[in-house]
Chains A and B, each alone.
Chain A
Amino acid sequence: MQWVLNAIIRYKNFLLFLFLFNLGLYISGTQSSYHNSQIAKSSLVISGFIHQPFRQLNSYFDLADENKRLVEENNALKNRELVRSYQTGVLPRRNRNSGSSQYWSKSAKIIRNSFTQSRNILLIDKGSNDSIDREMGVIGPKGIIGIVNQTSGNYASVLSILYRNLKINAKFKKSNVFGSLFWQGDNPHEMQLSDIASINVVEIGDTLVTGGMSSYFPEGVPIGKVKSFELLENGGYYDISVSLFNNMTDLEYVYVIGNKDRGEIIELLEREP
């Protein structure tokens, strides 16, 4: 018995190290499965609390640039509005509200942005008090940004599309061919598109938009354009790299997209056959 105690006292440093190391690994495990992790939720409150004031100060210095961008965005929106009013005048009445009214959006401000890690997470300053819920889509001025992961009262964390395990349904604007988009963990301006069969025609500069296969994003939100592609030797599939429209490294304002029919869709999917 004595020698056990002696050994514990003698190797207490190593034992403490081992214990804390495993605790760290455990935290890693709970964090990267990114579902239902209590620790992520409590840490969200802390980091929102710490980053908020600093980000406010920071955004003050960026006001000029931000204004310019807002003007540009307003312009683009106004253009789209014009096109739409033209279309609704021409189209039959029953088609008018079918497309976009299923979705609503809410603007939010990014208070923390990361893009240097392999799994990047953004914090925004709207949370469950603003009826933002998990797994809602987030888009920026030029295209998609990510998916809401956790919410607290006034903050929410967003899995950036620059997140290694995340796959996003995307399609070609011109041909409706579907594939899945993922990030390789290196360059924040570039993503990979897979599962495009070699039978399809791909050209450099083709525009990619979100497909309607998931309930996160509306169909047709722009993502990026084809930068380069090559045919894989054995698969009959293309390996396509996509350059993103959004600059993920200097985001400030984003829009959270809610789907009014989402509850219904989830219920349908979960119903036993």
Chain B
Amino acid sequence: MIPYYTRFSLLAFILLILQILVFDNIHLFGFSNPAIYILIFITYRLDLDQFGFIAIGFFAGLFLDLVTQSPGAHSIAGVSIAFLRPIISRFALGANFNQPNTLSTGSLWSNKMVYIFLMILTHQLIFSFMLYFNMAHLWVIIKHTVANTFFSFVLITASLTLFQTKK
């Protein structure tokens, strides 16, 4: 059995590379980039220590920032979503929000969807705000957030269904 952290880092690395090479080149309607790498933040085991998770969020974002030359938006969104995740999971998943296998078996389908949706929405909102960094562009920010959230949600739920771990 491979240790969890090894498996997780491998998955994270693959997702980041996929994001850079494939999904950043998809421009739906000319402006929308689906963000598959949010799967890193969604699938990280819910019962593990948050301290390490915040660091992971930052470094995953930093890697994307360096490669795509974006001004810090990915790292800030990553570190924020890692910090906010307990609040979202407690709201969406209810009583068993910090169980290890909540995402695969332990909760209702609707709860999981709400959890995934809120994670993506929060991440994309922070990300777009950091990218534009100006309230004068609020309308553009909202447009980007809504479109990106929608397509990322479709992609992420699809890939979660495809690669579900069988128990």
Contact = CB atoms under 8 A, between A and B. Distances in A.
Q: Taking chain A's interface residues, is the majority helix, strand, or loop, or is none over half, making it mixed?
A: helix
Given A20-B55, A21-B76, A28-B76, A43 B31 contact: no
Contact of A28 (B51, B58, B68, B71): B71
Contacts of B73: 28
Contacts of A102: none
A44 B66 CA distance: 8
Given A116-B27, A119-B71, A185-B137, A17 B65 contact: no
Given A186-B140, A249-B30, A27 B79 contact: no
8 contacts: A13-B51, A13-B83, A20-B75, A27-B62, A27-B75, A31-B69, A31-B72, A39-B66
Interface of A: 12-14, 16-17, 20-21, 23-28, 31-32, 39-40, 42-44, 46-47, 50-51, 54, 58, 114-119, 121, 123, 157, 185-186, 188, 249
B130 interface: yes
Nearest to B79: A20
Interface string B57-91: 11001100111111111011001101100000000
A118 B76 contact: no
B8 interface: no
B129 to A, nearest CB: 11
A249 B51 CA distance: 41
The DSSP consensus for interface residues of chain B is: helix
A17 B54 contact: yes
The 4 A-B pairs at the shortest CB distance, nearest first, are namely A28-B72, A31-B71, A43-B66, A24-B76
